Amino acid sequence: MSARKETELPAQSLRCRSCAAEYPLEDIGTCSACFGPLDPVYDWEALAGTITRESIAAGPASIWRYSALLPLEAPEEPRLAPGLTPLVRADRLAGELGLRELWLKLDTANPTHSFKDRVVAVAAQKARELGRDTLACSSTGNLANAVAARAAAEGMEAVVFCPADLEPEKLVATAVFRPTIYAVQGTYDDCSRLTVELSFELPWAFVNVGLRSYYAEGSKTVAFEIAEQLGWDAPDAVVAPIASGSLYSKIAEGFDQLGRLGLIDAATPRLFGAQAEGCSPVAAAFGADARVVPVRPATVARSLAIGNPADGDKAVATARATDGAIYAVPEAEVGENMAVLAAHTGVFGETAAGVSLGALREAVARGELGGNDRVVLVVTGDGLKTPGPVSGLFEPVHVEADADAVLERLGVLT
């Protein structure tokens, strides 16, 4: 890592979202005055003179091509670099839904097959800058995978706190990297509370606590990539799942920042958010035009099972600011939507993708999106991590090892 000074970094400081108090670029999780969340502050006027489409295109084929828009310095030798995942057209599904264009942003192509690799890469880089040697987190699964893999790649220790009843596929996909896994008897919100308490006692880099200001910024790169992959243009709408609310709101911020820098001319897309009905505090708040009220999760979409979302109110504000919406999808439709996505596009997305497709279908049914719209649906994780909701589709045809038996079943032989 070079010795570039903090004052020369793209971000200048951290600022409280609630009271505007400012802090240095350190591992400070919340405002000490009002306990509000902290966001990086950038000098957009200075950045506008240095960042161009050409300078970005000359960068590495990963999130680090956008390092000039992140609150830290890129690693000199990126390891297991995430990002620049495929953006693919889904014409058959677009036709089925009645959309002009539908694109899928496949973050299943990241190293541990979810968008969490983006946010962890940014947080881990800050942890290394601060001299930390242990990455830690609370997780519903995907983040545990990403933290464990990132620590293994960087030669760091990893500690993850997950609900004890998490999908075994996600726990095994974490355990293979040899972290310490604490299976907590409780919900994700219990895990989150536990890690907040421990962050005051242990010298670990809790990526979604003390380093959350940096961690969250990694999600902006989803928007940066979509715009670049569309020829420096913005779609009419983006559909994304909501758990904490950070990914959803940061996608909007990403497009807004590109517009501020003159890298795109289009307006920020309308943002449509998705939650599963069994854990939908943000959708409920949007529908009631109220603040988010915590709930106890009871949903098949475990990756979205955050009953007390840290950025829930910000997500509601994002929906309103972009003329979007946030919908709750019935639990029974999550697996069905996973199957629809797979059958029409060849993409097997996890439960969160089934929830997102459900919200897209709802927006179309309400006439909010239609034949004039170009839409991007963010597929945040791989269906192999959450096969349960579609396991009932496995109904093989049992036959003898005899070609005539197969042909007879097909009606070719009589």
For 53-69, how does the pLDDT look when each residue is reduced to its tens digit (9 = 90+)? 999 999 999 999 999 99
Please indicate, yes or no, whether residues 187 and 237 belong to a single structural domain of this protein. Answer: no
For residue 62, the tally of other CB atoms under 10 A from its CB is 22
- 41, 228, 400, 401 from 412: Cα distances, Å: 70, 51, 16, 17
What CATH number did the domain enclosing 162 receive? 3.40.50.1100
243 and 307 inside one domain: yes
Q: Give the pLDDT of residue 10.
A: 85
Considering the domain architecture, whether residues 45 and 158 belong to the same structural domain is answered as yes
Same domain, residue pair 123 and 71? yes
Mean pLDDT of 270-291: 98
Q: How many domains does the chain have?
A: 2
Q: Which of 215, 237, 254 lies at the terminal end of a domain, its last residue?
A: 215
Instruction: Report the alpha-carbon distance of residue 67 to residue 73 in Å, rounded.
Output: 7
- pLDDT above 80 (res 9): no
Assess whether 302 and 376 both reside in one domain.
yes
User: Which residue among 160, 189, 215 closes a domain?
Assistant: 215
pLDDT tens column, 208-224: 999 999 999 999 999 99
Domain that holds residue 314: 87-112+219-393
pLDDT digits (tens, 9 = 90+) for 303-335: 999 999 999 999 999 999 999 999 999 999 999
User: Are 41 and 105 found together in one domain?
Assistant: no
- 24 in the same domain as 173: yes
User: Do 232 and 270 share a structural domain?
Assistant: yes
Q: Is 144 in the same domain as 245?
A: no
* pLDDT tens digits, one per residue of 139-193: 999 999 999 999 999 999 999 999 999 888 889 999 999 999 999 999 999 999 9
Report how far residue 295's alpha carbon sits from residue 307's, in angstroms, rounded to the nearest whole number. Answer: 5
Q: Looking at the structure, tell me whether residues 285 and 350 fall in a common domain.
A: yes
pTM for the full predicted model? 0.94
Percent of the chain with pLDDT over 70: 98
Average confidence score pLDDT of the chain: 95
Question: Position 224: which residue type?
Answer: F
Q: Please indicate, yes or no, whether residues 140 and 13 belong to a single structural domain of this protein.
A: yes
Q: State the pLDDT confidence band at 367, using cuts at 50, 70 and 90.
A: very high
Over range 382-401, report the average pLDDT.
94
Contact of 404 with 133, CB cutoff 8 Å:
no
Do 285 and 373 lie in one domain? The reply is yes
